[in-house]
Amino acid sequence: MDDIDRKILNIIQTGFPVTEAPYEVIGEKVGVPEDEAFERVKALYDGKIIRRIGASFDSRGIGWTSTLCAMKVPKEHIEDVAKIVSAYPGVTHNYERNHEYNLWFTFIAPDLAAVEKGLKEIGDKSGFGPVRNMPMIKKFKIKVDFKFKEKKEGAAQ
């Protein structure tokens, strides 16, 4: 990553331009043409520096429900089960944990019945159900932005 990539990351974490030409806006802010801004973001995504670009919504605020879920999956099946989990549009992300319940994910749906239906399907399809459903009782939301500092001239990248 160079300084332009760092500047782009600082912009898009919480200030992705909602406009017809977002990469033009990003490019103007960092001093590069629109197509270069797009290619840089694509390279950061392809290089797995960026995991996802998308909106974040307060599911309760739009009348939906969300829950944290966990599954017990044998290590040798974790990738296959993670693919099944990720195929559901209500799953925002999943991750492996060093725990008896080793595959965790969040699930968002219009209502509790849709959550329960989706979790049962995941358990049935994977063969490692039931999925543990842990709905939020109290909201603790920590917002994290990573501030990427520009390198000083002559400093190692």
Residue 126: its H or E element: helix 112-126
Task: pLDDT band for 58, please (50, 70, 90 cuts).
Answer: confident
Average pLDDT, integer, range 117-133: 96
Place of tokens 């599911």: 59
Half-sphere exposure of 124 (CA within 13 A, CB side): 6
With 0-12 / 13-18 / 19 or more C-beta atoms within 10 angstroms meaning exposed / middle / buried, residue 81 is: buried
Q: How far apart are CA 157 and CA 110, in angstroms?
A: 46
Average pLDDT, the chain: 89
Instruction: Give pLDDT, residue 35.
Output: 98
pLDDT more than 70, % of the chain: 93
The model's pTM: 0.65
